[in-house]
């Protein structure tokens, strides 16, 4: 047998082998499609059984099942289809098996691109607290559990902290219900947070602020003074860079804001004086370089505590800026824009007026009312001033003898 004959024979053998292989693959594909039609198929690449079914929304869904035989996979398919029919009939989707930890992690990823860096950094603490106090399974979070959480936290932290945590939990559960379709209900909806004190009345007087600046370490004085001048939040202040300050037009741009919107504010003479006291850095350098936010908050409380101002913090400087502006005649709309509030209600909460300012306001109508009432003598006559007359009492009728009346009648 020559070489050509051997080569031709080998080629024919390879053709038969390839043809047989293609035949087996086609047969396997046909069988796989047949299995998919009845909703069960086996994935050789992963070594798992899968099911295919139409979910309650009318969409084709495929997922792996716990099983080692075709019969086990068929049983899982039957159970799943029964649940889908129940969901379609009742209009209620079964809660998923997601853990509370995984749900909180998903929310954290969801918020990363939606929050300012400084706000996002504070989210970790809230999520950690929620995970410590809530059940391990997300579907086990009930209205009773949320109310128990609120009552427990209210015994150790301030009402505002509990309200913030409850708001975050409600948002997480709302996303899990409406967008992620993991749960059926928002168990935090309608839960009442602890009652907070009506309004925030604490702000510093000029004397208190001066004493605080004199008592504070040197590295704290500029941030404290700038916060009192502008009403910036701590994160906004520490995120300010030199390229965000326009000295020619006396403007500065706050880019890392709580709401994510850039605010453009005007620099007053006092704010310009604070910036002039700082060493000028490069365009991308922070204005308050080297200042740690957490340390700034802790040390501010210590400074105020030493002065006997126990209810003040670094954030009080923001309240101070708002209150002073209102006391000087700024309208609430202007103040709300400066502070970066989205509603006037927020401004009313922060910018309370002092008793002295209210007393001054009470006298604004005296001039007009003076024309109405006239001099004091005329006013007394007009208003009927003097001792109010005693009310007249009805005189008691004289007692009449019943017998006398009876005798008269008979006579």
* pLDDT tens readout for residues 110-131: 998 887 777 788 899 999 999 9
- Looking at residue 357, its pLDDT comes to 55
Q: Mind giving me the DSSP string for 324-393?
A: HHHHTT--HHHHHHHHT-SSHHHHHHH-PPPHHHHHHHHGGGHHHHHHHH-SHHHHHHHHT-SPPPPPP-
Q: What is the pLDDT of residues 45-78, one digit of tens each?
A: 888 888 888 876 667 888 888 888 888 888 888 8
- Looking at residue 225, its pLDDT comes to 94
Q: Mind giving me the DSSP string for 204-251?
A: --HHHHHHHHHHS-HHHHHHHHHHHHH---HHHHHT-BGGGEETTTTE
Report phi then psi at 246, rounded to 5: -105, 95
pTM of the entire structure? 0.56
Q: What is the pLDDT of residues 191-207, one digit of tens each?
A: 999 887 665 567 899 99
- Looking at residue 256, its pLDDT comes to 73
Query: Looking at the domain 100-178, which fold is it?
Result: DNA polymerase; domain 1 (1.10.150)
Contact 254, 265 (CB under 8 A): yes
Contact 177, 138 (CB under 8 A): no
Q: What is the pLDDT of residues 16-36, one digit of tens each?
A: 556 666 766 665 665 555 445
Q: Which two tokens stand for residue 248?
A: 């020619």
Q: Which residues of the chain have pLDDT under 50?
A: 6, 34-35, 351, 354, 385, 400-408, 410-411
Task: Please report, for the chain, the start and end positions of each structural domain, with discontinuous segments joined by +.
Answer: 15-90, 100-178, 206-359
* 206-359: CATH number: 1.10.443.10
């Amino acid at each position: 047998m020559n070489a050509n004959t051997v080569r031709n024979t080998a080629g024919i053998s390879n053709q038969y082998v390839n043809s047989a292989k293609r035949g087996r693959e086609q047969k396997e594909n046909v069988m796989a499609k047949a299995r998919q039609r009845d909703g069960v198929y086996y994935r050789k690449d992963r070594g798992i059984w899968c099911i295919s079914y139409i979910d309650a929304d009318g969409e084709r869904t495929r997922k792996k099942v716990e099983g080692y035989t075709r019969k086990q996979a068929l049983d899982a398919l039957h159970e799943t289809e029964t649940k889908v029919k129940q969901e379609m009939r009742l209009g209620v989707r079964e809660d998923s098996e997601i853990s509370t930890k995984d749900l909180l992690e998903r929310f954290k990823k969801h918020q990363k691109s939606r929050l300012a860096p400084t706000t996002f950094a504070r989210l970790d603490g809230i999520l950690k607290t929620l995970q410590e106090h809530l059940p391990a399974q997300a579907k086990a979070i009930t209205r009773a559990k949320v109310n128990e959480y609120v009552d427990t936290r209210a015994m150790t932290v301030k009402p505002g902290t509990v309200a913030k945590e409850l708001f975050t939990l409600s948002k997480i559960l709302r996303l899990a219900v409406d967008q992620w379709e993991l749960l059926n209900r928002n168990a935090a909806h309608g839960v009442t947070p602890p009652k907070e004190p009506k309004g925030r009345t604490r702000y510093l007087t000029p004397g208190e602020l001066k004493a605080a600046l004199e008592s504070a370490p040197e590295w704290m004085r500029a941030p404290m003074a700038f916060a009192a001048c502008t009403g910036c939040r701590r994160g906004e202040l520490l995120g300010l860079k030199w390229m965000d300050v326009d000295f020619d037009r006396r403007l500065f741009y706050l880019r890392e804001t709580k709401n994510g919107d850039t605010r453009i504010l005007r620099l007053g003479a006092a704010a310009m004086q604070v910036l002039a006291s700082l060493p000028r850095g490069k365009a991308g350098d922070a204005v308050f370089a080297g200042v740690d936010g957490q340390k700034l908050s802790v040390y501010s409380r210590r400074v105020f505590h030493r002065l006997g101002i126990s209810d003040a913090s670094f954030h009080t400087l923001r309240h101070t800026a708002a209150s002073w502006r209102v006391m000087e005649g700024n309208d609430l709309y202007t103040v709300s824009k400066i502070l970066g509030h989205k509603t006037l209600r927020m401004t009313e909460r922060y910018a309370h007026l002092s008793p002295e300012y209210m007393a001054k306001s009470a006298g604004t109508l005296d001039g007009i009312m003076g024309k109405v009432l006239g001099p004091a003598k005329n006013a007394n006559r007009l208003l009927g001033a003097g001792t109010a007359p005693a009310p007249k009492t009805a005189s008691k009728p004289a007692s009449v003898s019943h017998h006398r009346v009876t005798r008269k009648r008979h006579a």
